């Protein structure tokens, strides 16, 4: 009887096996464990999810989380676009210096940057004192422990993650396209709205998704600049697990956040993919 042929991995799978093992151990297993805890603690069932979606307090935290993430993403896009365009058109030597300064801000400790904003935004901080000394305001503005403080702090932190994909997209746009539009009589705003903005949408979508997803799960900056009245989902999860030891409810909230993130990523892939197919047709 002839011997059986030795088992062989399908072509290409053998080289990918170490990566598959790492992904399974460090991503799939933790997510499955998270899901199991959310439906088994303190007892089997979906009571944790019912509590999350049925309790008004948790519903407000969900709403505040998506509100803050949406506002931060919108403001970040508005601020990052002119900076990215400036980097795309300025001379390479000067662009490298400015680009290095932006990257350097990402390497600074997050907690240090957040505490710096706490000093700047408080009622007796530099910003309020400067505005008062210039006669622009008569009394200090409430810039901390509210949505304004959270937005300012998070936009500053998220700017590099929006600028990086935008710069790559804008540099790939042929400048002759805008010159041709100007020669045809298009105003600068019309050229921006009908040419530059549509061509830059892949970079806007990639950076916007990154900023929105990171904002959904942000913890340090909202906790320090927003206060208890502006609690976000990540802070609630930390309190549930660390302080209240409510692993079931905390795991359910974390799994919902993960599911929303994956859904948004899938939607972006579908929309951007459809746009590329349509643009190439």
- 235: CATH: 1.10.3720.10
Residue 6: inside a domain: no
Across the chain, which has 281 residues, the per-10-residue mean pLDDT values are 55 69 84 83 82 81 88 93 88 84 80 86 87 86 85 90 89 82 80 84 87 84 77 82 80 85 79 53 41
Residue 5: inside a domain: no
Residue 121: inside a domain: yes
Residue 29: inside a domain: no
- Predicted pLDDT of residue 10: 57
- Predicted pLDDT of residue 15: 65
The pair of three-digit structure tokens given for residue 15, joined into one six-digit string: 């080289």
Residue 1: inside a domain: no
Q: What share of the chain is helix, strand, coil (3-state, %, to 5)?
A: 80, 0, 20
Cα angle at 256 between 251 and 260, to 5 degrees?
150
pTM of the model: 0.80
Residue 210: inside a domain: yes
267: phi then psi, degrees, rounded to nearest 5: -65, -40
Residue 142: inside a domain: yes
- Rg (C-alpha) for the chain, rounded Å, is 24
Residues near 81 by beta carbon (within 8 Å), at least 6 away in sequence: 166, 200, 204
Separation in Å, CA 36 to CA 33, 48, 87:
5, 12, 47
Note down the domain range covering 100: 44-270
């Amino acid at each position: 009887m002839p011997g059986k042929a030795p088992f062989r991995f399908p072509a290409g799978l053998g080289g990918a096996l170490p990566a598959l093992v790492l992904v399974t151990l460090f991503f799939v297993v933790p997510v499955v464990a998270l899901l199991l805890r959310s439906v088994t603690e303190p007892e089997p069932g979906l009571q944790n999810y019912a509590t999350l979606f049925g309790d008004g307090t948790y519903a407000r935290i969900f709403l505040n989380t998506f509100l803050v993430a949406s506002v931060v993403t919108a403001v970040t896009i508005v601020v990052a676009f002119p900076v990215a365009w400036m980097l795309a058109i300025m001379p390479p030597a000067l662009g490298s210096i400015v680009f290095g300064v932006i990257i350097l801000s990402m390497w600074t400790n997050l907690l240090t940057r957040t505490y710096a904003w706490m000093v700047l935004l408080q009622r007796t901080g530099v910003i309020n004192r400067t505005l008062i000394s210039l006669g622009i305001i008569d009394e200090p503005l409430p810039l901390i422990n509210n949505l304004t403080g959270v937005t300012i702090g998070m936009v500053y932190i998220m700017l590099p993650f929006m600028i990086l994909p935008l710069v790559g997209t804008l540099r790939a746009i042929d400048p002759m396209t805008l010159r041709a539009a100007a020669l045809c009589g298009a105003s600068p705003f019309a050229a921006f709205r009908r040419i530059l903005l549509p061509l830059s949408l892949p970079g806007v979508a990639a950076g916007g998704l990154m900023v929105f997803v990171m904002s959904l799960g942000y913890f340090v900056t909202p906790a320090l600049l927003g206060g208890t009245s502006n609690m976000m989902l990540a802070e609630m999860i930390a309190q549930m697990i660390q302080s209240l030891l409510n692993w079931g409810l905390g795991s359910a909230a974390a799994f919902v956040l993960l599911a929303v993130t994956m859904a948004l990523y899938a939607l972006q892939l579908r929309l951007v993919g459809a746009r590329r197919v349509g643009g190439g047709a």
